[in-house]
Amino acid sequence: MALQCGIVGLPNVGKSTLFNCLSNARAQSANYPFCTIEPNVGIINVPDERLIELEKIDKPERVVPATIEFVDIAGLVKGASKGEGLGNKFLANIRETDAIIHILRCFEDDNVTHVDGSIDPVRDKETIDIELQLKDLETIESRIEKVAKKAKAGADKTASKTLEILNRYKEVLESGQAGRVVTLDETEQELMKDLHLLTTKPVLYVCNVKDSELQTGNNHVEAVKEAVKDENAEVIMIAAATEADIAELESYEERQMFLEDMGLKEPGVNKLIKAAYRLLNLETFFTTGKDEARAWTFKKDTKAPQAAGVIHTDFEKGFIKAEVIKYDDYVSLRSEQACREAGKIAIEGKGYVVQDGDVIHFRFNV
């Protein structure tokens, strides 16, 4: 399931530094605009304490975590929607992603230049918002022109409905709001599925702060929270410079000692990865045994046959049943056999909606 989160932001806000911490794929990081020209893609392991616990129980030969893809996209400037800077590349790259991780600089440092000369994360957010809205408006107006002709001719039965939805988007975008404000029912979503608007993508705001402000935040962070309060978007804080220091430490023990000294339970990038996983509406089920303990990624509200298909298409085609153990029962009883003897294995059919944390054994026949 190759779903991608695009990391966006103005130049010099900490995007590439965070991407470097997330991924072994090293994006160039320098104190000048446009140091990232081509999008860098990193496949990142999703931290999950439950998988660690399953490893302790079954002692498998190998452990395979869930993964998520992050794309570090070139910095954007005003006028990107008209091709300024690397705007066309930026907008094309972000269109291909499933969600947006928007990095905002919320720290003061005279040694790190800002493309607009001062620190104002709300202004920075609006700069990117406007460029995305303008590009979406261009897309909408082009589509309206085509659909209006079909609606007038009466040859396409869905054209009138499509035109009505497009005009709703146009009104919202012209008012300075994101396309995600527009709510669509299932039929309307089907009509718009190939529109690929930039501002309909879910977004997570990441405030890049100094390490001394991780616990308390600052005025910049509060301003961001106030600005996005009606967007139904999560806001988290990360100190990118501190994350870079943690990433340089070689051993797990060294990293844990560093975190303890900082008063932190886990690296900020772990928090970012988990938040991105939620943003994409993803959950995890597990398969485990002596050969392998593995975390599998699925979309929330997926039914058992489709979850089986995540492992292999044959599992979905020949699905018979799913033997499901709740994670807490597996950890409590310490084995599949013990769960079976205690009556803690549920036999589920095609209508079962897989739950986050389920430990599953699929039965199939092809």
Per the annotation, where are the binding residues for ATP? Answer: 12-17
Cα separation, 337 vs 325, in Å, equals 11
Tokens of 121: 């994360």
- Enclosing H/E stretch for 140: helix 121-153
Radius of gyration of the chain (CA): 23
Tokens of 212: 């001394």
Annotated binding site: 12-17
| Entry field: residues in the chain | 366
Q: Which residue has the tokens 């991608």?
A: 4
Residues 6+ apart with CB under 8 A from 331: 53, 54, 57
Residue 54 CB: number of other CB atoms within 10 A?
Answer: 24
DSSP string, 212-271: GGTTT--HHHHHHHHHTTTTT-EEEEE-HHHHHHHHH--SHHHHHHHHHHHT-SS-HHHH
